[in-house]
């Protein structure tokens, strides 16, 4: 049994609240005590995530010009960046833990993505015109 359970639809419903929380929660937690970048990196990432979601081709995308696979690749890169940021930028305390927790959560969601089922072979064959098949 495949343990991956995060569907494209579930992911779409997570995107906007996560983007907004990345812009709001750092102020609530008073991030930036170890480095001001700890506050602004999250806010900038949240704004970028919001824009990414608006342009992603999924159920809640507004313009739907970016393939969902690109969205997942960006999410993966953000997860890795968030795990590395505390070490690379000298974040400590709550600043570091915020990024480690968010990075792990993002990578978990991306890793648990359930690929959409491929069309059945019979459907693929019926979609092709018979004259397109040549010997």
State how many domains the chain has. Answer: 1
Indicate whether 125 belongs to any domain.
yes
Query: What pTM did the predictor assign?
Result: 0.84
Tell me the DSSP string of 80-128: HHHHHHHHHHT--HHHHHHHHHHHHHHHHHHHTB-PPPPPPHHHHHHHS
Whether residue 57 is contained in a domain is answered as yes
pLDDT tens digits for range 37-77: 999 999 999 999 999 999 999 999 999 999 999 999 999 99
Residue 129 pLDDT level (bands cut at 50, 70, 90): low
Question: What residue numbers bound the domain in which 64 lies?
Answer: 8-132
Give me the percent of the chain exceeding a pLDDT of 90. Answer: 81
Would residue 2 count as lying in a domain? no
How many whole angstroms separate alpha carbon 9 and alpha carbon 92? 35
Q: How much is the mean pLDDT over the chain?
A: 91
The confidence score (pLDDT) of residue 106 equals 98
CA distances 122 to 117, 126, 127, 130, 131, Å, are 14, 6, 9, 13, 17
For 102-124, how does the pLDDT look when each residue is reduced to its tens digit (9 = 90+)? Answer: 999 999 999 999 998 766 555 55
């Amino acid at each position: 049994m495949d343990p991956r359970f995060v569907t494209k639809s579930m992911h779409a419903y997570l995107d906007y609240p996560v983007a907004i929380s990345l812009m709001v929660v750092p102020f609530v937690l008073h991030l930036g005590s170890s480095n001001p970048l700890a506050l602004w990196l999250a806010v900038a990432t949240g704004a970028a995530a919001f824009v990414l979601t608006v342009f992603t081709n999924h159920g809640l995308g507004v313009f739907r010009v970016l393939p969902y696979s690109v969205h997942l690749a960006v999410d993966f890169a953000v997860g890795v960046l968030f795990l590395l940021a505390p070490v690379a930028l000298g974040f400590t305390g709550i600043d570091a833990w915020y990024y480690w927790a968010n990075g792990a959560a993002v990578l978990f969601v991306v890793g648990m993505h359930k690929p959409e089922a491929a069309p059945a072979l019979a459907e693929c064959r019926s979609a092709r015109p018979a004259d397109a098949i040549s010997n």
